[in-house]
């Protein structure tokens, strides 16, 4: 594809396009591929998010470091090497020499400093520093670049998880950006271009900054955006300056381009797959589930798709959790009562949900962090995990009713009431655009029925998707039913399920309180109702479970010894199952569907991802271990590329 451009003199030879030491993709199952062809991919999304952002979960190009072996190891990325001082308070990264953006311009540490100094620290852009920018004490790092290829992060205390957090996400997509092309974006900033309208520059800069919708914005990923059709599709073509090679030194990617088509109706999406319009489907990105297996299998002659399964790594499967910071004080008190939370868990027939929703796959669980997390695989860890997993797993509606009676949630006619005798209705809240045939909606219907059977007036409540997050964060919604826990590969790299740190999980207002500690905003509006503050936030109860969790978490941030950090995680876990459960699951580590067109090579099988190669059979569901980016789809190739040029 690029040879003619080189011959015409419009593109340098490949040796001049690669860095001095390219990244060599390390996976043991890889074979040297063939160049050419296109990859047809599909999604279903009404918000126009997947056509751009989710494709990035398949491209690790902007990451400084990379997860390897399903999160069991960390390897180099843009940084060729790195080291820290003895107490892990100073981290130095040595980047590959000769890196180039997709437009051929040099990539340097100035592109990281541009992101930090001109974007994050610019109050007009209102960006929030990523968690990895904070030390173990919660203060911001000092970031310096001695030269174009060296970056130094200096913290005021031991900060042992820095490398882990630089490997997580894909950067510049899902998760913190970490870099932007200064040579391109500076033209849209008044600081660098006096002709820019100072009253309108922020909106225009934000628009130009989105490389997933703006083809002119350079990238470091294997494929770069060629054309964006809002709500319909995105078309990607190879990046001639991509900095990775195969084991023989051939520049990647092998496949010329990717066409990503959005079918907004989930059923039309499914039909496109059975009709053979997709070459590769990564189940974690889609509403496909085990219920679709029979249909996909019966259509294989037409679709040409092989059906594989990787481990999801999920700690919960489809889950539910109550809003600990719900606005009504009487209901809030109930949602903070461990006996109520345990009773509701014992009233949930997980075995039935496992049969109906998951076709007897996965292991029953009360709800935990991923069973693949390293904290469970050191001496003593498995016992902690098992205790958490089994803590409220027993289906016992009689016990559940006894527990509710004991705390005053008694029946008055058909339904139970609050302890003061006032009516109790529990809304089961979920985004209104949820796939009716997906895991979540099937589980939601079963959960509502189980709770109704013990006298809880549980009502399914679809919420406008655009307002769901804001309503949750302000304490207006009771429950969330459309999520799952999968984060890993350790519990601290992204601890938001364990520790309230933001506004989207089980303690939203307390989480925001924590996120503002140490900032000027923390001391503002203290005399205002917590629900009317901007943003809504509240201080946790003194001596309560959230404060205890924060205190232990603070210790983990400055503990350099991994075993001791894991033991501190165990202490947090015990609070979860003694004072909680704060979130509740269905099944753990259910299999995730992966569809691969006949003739598409180098996509790993379940066996390829086995322990004989040092992997964990896949780890598809956590965003922080971007899958399939961790398996380098740039190495996928067609056995016959000429048959896939359409």
Read off the CATH number of the domain in which 474 is found. Answer: 3.10.105.10
Residue closest to 79 by CA, chosen among 34, 33, 112, 43: 112
Residue closest to 393 by CA, chosen among 575, 570, 571, 577: 577
Return the DSSP state at 417.
Answer: B
Q: Residues 518-551: pLDDT tens digits?
A: 778 889 999 999 999 999 999 999 999 999 999 9
Mean pLDDT of the chain: 95
What is the chain's Cα-based Rg? Answer: 25
CA distance 563 to 554: 16
Asked if residue 329 belongs to a domain, the reply is yes
The predicted model scores a pTM of 0.94
Asked if residue 108 belongs to a domain, the reply is no
Asked if residue 150 belongs to a domain, the reply is no
- Please give the pLDDT value at position 175: 77
Asked if residue 375 belongs to a domain, the reply is yes
Q: What is the 3-state secondary structure (H, E, C) of 473-518?
A: HCCCCCEECCCCCCCCCCCCCCCCCCCCCCCCCCCHHHHHHHHCCC
- Over residues 381-388, mean pLDDT: 98
Q: Residues 166-182: pLDDT tens digits?
A: 999 999 877 789 999 99
Q: Residues 193-248: pLDDT tens digits?
A: 999 999 999 999 999 999 989 999 999 999 999 999 988 999 999 999 999 999 99
Distances (CA, A) of 329 to 340, 476, 531: 15, 12, 12
CA distance 296 to 484: 25
- Over residues 94-111, mean pLDDT: 98
CA distance 529 to 537: 9
Asked if residue 366 belongs to a domain, the reply is yes
Q: Return the higher-pLDDT residue of 184 and 56.
A: 184
Around 40, how many Cα atoms within 13 Å sit in the side-chain half-sphere?
Answer: 18
Residue 57 confidence class, pLDDT cut points 50, 70, 90: confident
Residue 54 confidence class, pLDDT cut points 50, 70, 90: low
Q: Is the pLDDT of residue 51 over 70?
A: no
- Over residues 460-466, mean pLDDT: 95
Q: Is the pLDDT of residue 285 over 90?
A: no
Buried-state track 102-125, b at ≥16 Cβ within 10 A, e below 16: bbeeebbbbbbbbbbebbbeeeee
* DSSP string covering 220-262: -SSEEEEEEETTTEEEEEE-TT--EE-TT-PBSP-S-EEEEEE
Q: Is the pLDDT of residue 53 over 80?
A: no
Asked if residue 527 belongs to a domain, the reply is yes
Joined together, the tokens standing for residue 301 give 């002659």
Domain span holding position 364:
321-588
Domain count, the chain: 1
Q: Residues 398-447: pLDDT tens digits?
A: 999 999 999 999 999 999 999 999 999 999 999 998 888 889 999 999 99
Q: Is the pLDDT of residue 52 over 70?
A: no
- Please give the pLDDT value at position 130: 85
- Please give the pLDDT value at position 128: 79
Joined together, the tokens standing for residue 264 give 């907004």
Asked if residue 101 belongs to a domain, the reply is no
Residue 575 confidence class, pLDDT cut points 50, 70, 90: very high
Q: Residues 441-451: pLDDT tens digits?
A: 999 999 999 99
- Over residues 366-383, mean pLDDT: 96
- Please give the pLDDT value at position 48: 67
Asked if residue 159 belongs to a domain, the reply is no
């Amino acid at each position: 594809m690029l040879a003619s451009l080189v011959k015409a003199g419009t593109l340098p030879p490949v040796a001049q396009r690669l860095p001095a030491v390219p990244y060599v993709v390390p996976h043991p199952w890889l074979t040297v591929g063939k160049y050419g062809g296109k990859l047809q991919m599909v999604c279903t999304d009404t918000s126009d998010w997947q056509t751009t952002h989710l494709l990035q979960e398949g491209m690790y190009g902007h990451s400084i470091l990379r997860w390897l072996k399903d999160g069991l190891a960390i390897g180099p990325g843009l940084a060729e090497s790195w080291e820290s001082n003895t107490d892990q308070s100073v981290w130095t990264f040595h980047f590959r020499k000769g890196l180039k953006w997709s437009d051929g311009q040099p990539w340097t540490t100035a592109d990281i400093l541009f992101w930090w100094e001109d974007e994050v620290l610019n109050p007009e852009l209102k960006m929030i520093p990523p968690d990895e920018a904070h030390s173990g004490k919660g203060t911001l790092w000092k970031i310096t670049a001695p030269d174009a290829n060296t970056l130094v992060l200096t913290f005021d205390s031991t900060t042992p998880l820095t490398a882990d957090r630089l490997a997580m996400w894909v950067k510049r997509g899902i998760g913190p950006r970490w870099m932007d092309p200064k040579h391109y974006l500076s033209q849209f900033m008044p600081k660098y271009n006096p002709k820019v309208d100072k009253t309108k520059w922020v909106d225009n800069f934000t628009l130009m900054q989105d490389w997933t919708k703006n083809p002119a914005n350079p990238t470091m990923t294997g494929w770069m955006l060629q054309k964006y059709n809002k709500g319909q599709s995105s078309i990607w073509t190879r990046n001639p300056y991509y900095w990775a090679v195969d084991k023989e030194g051939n520049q990647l990617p092998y496949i010329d381009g990717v066409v990503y088509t959005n079918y907004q109706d989930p059923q039309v999406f499914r039909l496109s797959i059975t009709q053979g319009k997709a070459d590769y489907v990564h189940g974690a990105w889609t509403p496909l589930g085990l219920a679709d297996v029979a249909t996909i299998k019966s259509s294989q002659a037409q679709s040409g798709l092989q059906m594989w399964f990787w481990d999801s790594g999920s700690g919960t499967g489809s889950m539910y959790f109550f809003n600990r910071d719900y606005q009504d004080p009487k209901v809030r008190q109930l949602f903070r009562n461990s006996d109520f939370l345990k009773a509701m868990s014992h009233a949930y027939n997980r075995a039935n949900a496992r049969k109906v929703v998951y076709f007897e796959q996965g292991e029953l669980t009360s709800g935990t962090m991923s069973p693949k997390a390293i904290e469970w695989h050191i001496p003593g860890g498995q016992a902690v995990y098992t205790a958490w997993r089994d803590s409220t797993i027993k289906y016992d509606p009689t016990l559940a009713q006894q527990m509710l009676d004991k705390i005053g949630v008694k029946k008055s006619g058909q339904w139970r009431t609050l302890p003061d005798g006032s009516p109790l209705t529990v809304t089961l809240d979920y985004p209104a655009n949820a796939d009716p045939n997906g895991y979540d909606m099937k589980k939601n219907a079963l959960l509502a029925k189980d709770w109704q059977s013990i006298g809880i007036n549980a009502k399914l409540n679809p919420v406008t998707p655009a307002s769901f997050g804001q309503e949750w964060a302000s304490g207006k919604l009771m429950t969330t039913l459309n999520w799952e826990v999968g984060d890993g590969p350790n519990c601290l790299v992204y601890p938001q399920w364990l520790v309230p740190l933001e506004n989207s999980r089980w303690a939203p207002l307390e989480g925001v309180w924590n996120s503002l500690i140490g900032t000027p905003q923390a001391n503002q509006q203290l005399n205002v109702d917590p629900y009317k503050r901007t943003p809504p936030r509240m201080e946790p109860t003194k001596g309560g479970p959230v404060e205890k969790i924060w205190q232990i978490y603070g210790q983990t941030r400055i503990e350099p010894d991994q075993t001791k950090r894991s033991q501190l995680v165990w202490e947090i876990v015990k609070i979860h199952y003694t004072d909680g459960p704060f979130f509740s699951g269905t099944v753990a580590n259910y299999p995730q569907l992966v569809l691969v067109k006949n003739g598409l090579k180098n996509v790993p099988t379940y066996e390829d991802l086995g322990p004989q190669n040092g992997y964990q059979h896949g780890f598809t569901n956590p965003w922080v271990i971007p899958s399939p980016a961790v398996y380098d789809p740039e190495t996928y190739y067609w056995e016959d590329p000429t048959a896939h040029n359409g």
